[in-house]
Structures are given as structure tokens and as C-alpha cells.
Structure 1
Amino acid sequence: MFVQPVTLRDHGLRLEPLALAHEDGLRAAAADGELWTLRVTSVPEPENTRAYIETALKMREEGHRFAFAVIDDASDRVLGSTSYHDIVPAVQRVEIGWTWYARSVQRSHVNTTAKLLMMGHAFDTLGCRVVGWRTDNYNFASQRAIERLGAQKDGVLRGHALRRDGTIRDTVMYSMTAGEWPEARAQLLYLRGRHG
């Protein structure tokens, strides 16, 4: 397996491999803002939380996705989830996605810290040449967040995937190369320091 089980930790945040033991915490995080009602996200409805985790675990076994629970280190509160996905060892590429957080921690240091951990692990430990992101063309908050990371917009895949409401979405693709990572890391550390 290209992505081995690992727990990543920094700035009061812990990313640990998603497991069935996170079900209650994940359900509570999703309830903070009723995030499953947003048509442009992958947040599970409360009754589908276990199936969401089981799907992630099956994808991990197949080598396509490695999901993390995002946890506040001090309180052990589950804040959300994020994943490596579309893992392609042959070209040393992963994408980061399936990311969502409880509304109460959105626009805090949580996303920046989680992305620093994941990007650092991808580039510095796994030796990735490229890290990618994709998002719904109408998920403008996600697009802004990805652009703040320093990722470059690659383009738009039209008519690419189904949304939860059955409509067909266009997918906005982004990427960052290993050569761009040092400057992006410096900028993200600077922004996080200003954010507190």
C-alpha cells in the first residue's frame, strides 16, 4: 500500500485513520451545522454515518482512498474528516478531498493545519510529485480554501459526477507540484500564525 496507516499531529490537531469507533463523533460533527443538507458536499446524513465509514474502509482496502478522522487533541472531539483519494502510486500522486468539518470549527486553524499535515506527509514522506484536489463547480467556499493552500487551477471537467440530489456537476480540478510545496508551506505557516 502506497499510503500506510499513520497518525499525523500538530497544533492541537490529530488526524488518525478513520474507524468505526469514530461513528458517534462523526455524526455529532455533521450535526453541527446540519452539513448533510448542503448539496455540494459528501457529508453523511446521521443515519448513513456508519455506511460512510464502511465505504471509506472498503476503499482503503482497495488502495483508492485513505480517510482520516480529524480530532481536537485536547478534548478528543471529532471535528470532521478528510482523505487521500485517487491514489496513483505509479506516478506518485494523491488527491486530498472528502473534507468536511463541523460548522463551529470552519474558518479556524483546523483546515490549514490538517492540510499542512497531509501535504507534508504526501510530499515529504510519501515522495509525491503532485497533490491534487477537486470540488464541485458551485462549491465556491471549497474553491477559495483550495486556492488559499497555493494550489493551481488545472481546469474544469464538465458533466463529471452526480451530486447527492441527482443533478450532474462540473468538477473543478486543482494541483500542486513538489517544487511548489516549500513556498506553499511557508505561506500556510505564516497564515496559520496570524490566525492563531
Structure 2
Amino acid sequence: MTFVQPVTLTDRGVRVEPLTLAHVDGLEAAAADGQLWRVRLTSVPEPGQTRGYVEAALAAREDGTRFPFAIIDEASGRVLGTTSFHDILPGPRRLEIGYTWLGRSSQRTSVNTVVKRLLLIHAFEDLCCNTVGWRTDNFNHASQRAIERLGAKRDGVIRGQAQRRDGTIRDTVMYSVTAGEWPEIRAHLDHLLLRHER
């Protein structure tokens, strides 16, 4: 049994809640906002494939390797995107944050920072994780910049680690934050959000 259990997290008008089949239509609309499935470096489902995408995420939740969330705008109830805890390792109390994507209109806003802050608070302060990690495609420079902006450290590159949707093989860039680093990272994220609100 994984140490990650269902939880709903809220802050600054954003709600992160356990993903269910009820989110399928909203996720499909979020993916259509910018036609995100056309981006080679992401795993955003194509039109008509969102239910299968959600079912696969829920199956991974059942086997304890992934816990997927829907990202919701609280004011409108609109699904903005999705994120997950994954590669959950109870022994060393390590997990990663990934499978994250937002509709185009939510990108370059504070939503991603709010979501990451919520997940990190939960991981370090509620679940008592020792390490939280991220991984991204070596060519996904926007994702790398976003992870680095959070304050995560680059651990290295795993060469030939995964297959992209187009069949090509990618190198994967790994990042992490440790429990000892978390207080400073939290202060940094608080500052970023405060600056955004001014």
C-alpha cells in the first residue's frame, strides 16, 4: 500500500483533486486549448483518447505507482489540466511530480507555481518525504526552465530512458528537492507568488 492517499488541496483559487472519470470531458477541453497533443515532447492525449488516458492513470493509482490529480479553477469549476505524484517509493519516502500539463490559457500564469507549491507542501510536510523529483525530456527546455525556477537541483541525464509519442528515444533530465532544502524552496515559492499578486 502506498503512503500517498486521496487528498484535495486548494490555494489561490486553484483546487488539486484526485482524478476520476468525471474529469474526462474537462481534460479533453483543456487539451484542446492550444491543441497540446501536437507538441512532440508531451504525453497530452489526442481528441477521443482522453478516457483511455484517464483510465491508464487510474490503473497506475491502483497498483500504487502513480497518484493522478485534476487541476481545477475553483471559481468556474473548469478543468485546467492534470498532474501526478509518480514513481512512489515508500521505503526511501521518495516520489516524483510529473505528467503535468495545463491548457494554453493557463500557461504563463501563476497556476503551475500554485500547484507545485501545494504538492510540495503535501509531500514534505504531510507525507514526510525525504526527496521529491522531476524528470523531463532533454529537448523540453521550457519544462526544464520551469522546474529550475522552482529551485530544484539538476541531478543529471539518463540517456535513452524513454520513448516519445513519435517513436523516437529521448534522454531524460532528472531534478530533485530534498527535505533539507524544502524550507528555503518554500520561502522562494511564497516570494514568487507574492510578487505575482502585486
TM-score for the superposition, normalised by structure 1:
0.99
Match of 2:67, as an amino acid? F
2:20, 2:47 → 1: CA distance? 16
**Which residue is 1:134 aligned to?**
135
Query: Match for residue 105 of structure 2?
Result: 104
Written as runs of structure 1 = structure 2, the 5 A alignment for 1:1-196 is 1-196=2-197
Aligned partner letter, 2:34: G
Q: What is the alpha-carbon distance in structure 2 between the residues aligned to residue 72 and residue 42 of structure 1?
A: 22
Q: Say how many residue pairs are matched.
A: 196
Q: Distance in 2 between matches of 1:189 and 1:79?
A: 22
Structure 1: how far apart are the matches of 2:36 and 2:61? 24
Offset at 1:133?
0.2
Gaps of at least 5 residues in structure 2 are none
Can you list the C-alpha shifts for 1:147-179, whole angstroms capped at 9, x where unaligned?
011100000000110000000000000000001
Output the CA distance in 2 between the equivalents of 1:98 and 1:60: 13
Offset, 1:18: 0.4
Structure 1 SS opposite 2:158: strand
Alignment partners' CA distance in 2, 1:35 and 1:192: 26
Distance 1:185 1:46 in 2: 37
Structure 1: distance between partners of 2:189 and 2:5: 25
1:47 is displaced (CA, Å) by 1.1
**For residues 46 and 68 of structure 1, what CA distance do their matches in structure 2 show?**
20
Any runs of at least 4 consecutive aligned residues in structure 1 with deviations exceeding 3 A, and if so which? none
Deviation at 1:56, TM superposition (A): 0.4
Q: Secondary structure at the match of 2:170?
A: strand
**3-state DSSP of counterpart to 1:47:** coil
Cα separation, 2, equivalents of 1:83 and 1:118: 9
- Secondary structure of 1:147's counterpart equals helix
AA aligned to 1:22 is H
TM-aligned CA deviation for residue 12 of structure 1: 0.4
